[in-house]
Amino acid sequence: MSVDLDKYFARIGWDGGRAPTLDTLRSLQHAHVLGIPFENIDVVVGTVPSLDLTDLEAKLVAGSRGGYCFEQNTLFADVLEQLGYGVTRYTGRVRVGARPGEIRPRTHLVLGIEVPGGGKGRYLVDVGFGSTDALLEPLPMVPGLVREGRGRRHRLVVEEADGPAPAWVLQARSGDTWIELVAFTLDAAPLPDIGVANWYVSTHPRSPFRRLFVQRTHDDGHLALDGTTLTRTARDGTVTVERVDGPEALRELLESEFGIAPPPGVRPER
Q: Is 133 a catalytic residue?
A: no
Q: Spot the catalytic one: 32, 42, 78, 108.
A: 108
Q: Spot the catalytic one: 42, 69, 78, 133.
A: 69
Q: Calculate the alpha carbon distances from 94 to 11, 98, 143, 163, 181 in Å.
A: 28, 8, 19, 19, 6
8 A C-beta contact, residue 68 and residue 40: yes
Q: Is 4 a catalytic residue?
A: no
Q: Is 187 a catalytic residue?
A: no
Q: Spot the catalytic one: 32, 126, 154, 222.
A: 126
Annotated catalytic sites, by residue?
A: 69, 108, 126
